[in-house]
């Protein structure tokens, strides 16, 4: 629930060591959020990440495995028991597999689909049910511009984000009138540990830029935000290119 000055009380980041997820939590704490929960698979890394918040907010870490869908309901029930209502949940868990490796080893592609789409769908539905019950809440789903049109260089990753993007849009429709909203965040190239060593695309941004745009979109009650805004028009152009032209795009 937002307080009298518009700040949310607690923030859950699923994929709690994500640079973007942490930046969004940081922006919300700077706005007045009092509790942060970082959830992910690597408890040691989560504890280290939590140090960024401990002097400003009550902070906790929890084990969360997107692929372990049978554990999702219990996690959210436990957090609700401890925190009361969940105000903002940021779904930042995801992997970006090496395209060539995934093409030669289907298990890599399956793992990416399981984490990025199946697991994301599962935890989002659990969150939606809880937030619907409490009558309020905001779910932030980190998608990607790669969801807009498959390209030769990243179609496995892009396909997982395309599925997630479609799901997020539909979930938002299903939650209309419930007091719960879904915000889909579609960043372009973001400088994070995930993209370190990759050739930057035009209009590259920092995780903090994504966080600022996300918080602004949450305040405005928007359903989609592109970061930076220019990538929306770039991807619109790519979406309308002939199939043969898209197949020749190298990146």
Q: Check 157, 167, 189, 226 and give the catalytic one.
A: 157
Residue 222's φ and ψ, nearest 5 degrees, are -80, 160
Give the number of other Cβ atoms within 10 Å of residue 7's Cβ.
16
Condensed to tens digits (0 to 9), the pLDDT of residues 39-94 reads: 999 999 999 999 999 999 999 999 999 999 999 999 999 999 998 899 999 999 99
**Whose CA is closest to 18, among 41, 31, 7?**
41
C-alpha angle 17-168-57 in degrees, rounded to nearest 5:
35
Condensed to tens digits (0 to 9), the pLDDT of residues 144-178 reads: 887 777 677 889 999 999 999 999 999 999 999 99
Q: Could you give the CA distance from residue 152 to residue 198 in angstroms, rounded to a whole number?
A: 16
pTM of the model: 0.90
CA distances from 24 to 31, 36, 152 (A): 11, 11, 31
Contact 144, 156 (CB under 8 A): no
The β-bridge partners of 205 are 190
Active site residue 173: no
Q: Which of 69-83, 204-218, 221-235 has the weakest average pLDDT?
A: 221-235
**Whose CA is closest to 115, among 157, 60, 165?**
157
What CATH number is given for 10-247 in this structure?
A: 3.40.50.720
């Amino acid at each position: 629930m937002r307080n009298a000055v518009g700040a949310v009380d607690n923030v859950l980041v699923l994929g709690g060591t994500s640079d973007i997820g942490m930046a969004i939590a940081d922006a919300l704490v700077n706005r007045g959020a009092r509790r942060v929960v970082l959830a992910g698979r690597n408890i040691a890394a989560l504890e280290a990440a939590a140090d960024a918040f401990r002097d400003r907010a009550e902070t906790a870490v929890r084990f969360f495995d997107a692929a372990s869908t049978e554990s999702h309901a219990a996690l959210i029930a436990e957090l609700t028991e401890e925190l009361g209502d969940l105000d903002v949940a940021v779904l930042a868990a995801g992997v970006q597999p090496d395209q060539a490796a995934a093409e030669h080893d289907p298990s890599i592609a399956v793992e990416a689909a399981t984490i990025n789409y199946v697991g994301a769908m599962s935890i989002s539905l659990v969150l939606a049910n809880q937030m619907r019950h409490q009558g309020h809440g905001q779910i932030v789903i980190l998608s990607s511009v790669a969801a807009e049109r498959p390209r030769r260089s990243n179609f496995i990753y892009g396909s997982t984000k395309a599925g997630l993007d479609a799901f997020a849009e539909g979930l938002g429709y299903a939650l209309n009138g419930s007091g719960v909203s879904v915000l889909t965040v579609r960043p372009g190239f973001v400088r994070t540990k995930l993209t370190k060593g990759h050739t930057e695309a035009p209009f590259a941004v920092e995780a903090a830029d994504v966080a600022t745009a996300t918080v602004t979109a949450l305040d405005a009650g928007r359903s989609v935000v592109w970061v930076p805004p220019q990538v929306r028009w770039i991807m619109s152009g790519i979406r309308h290119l002939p199939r043969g032209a898209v197949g020749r795009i190298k990146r």
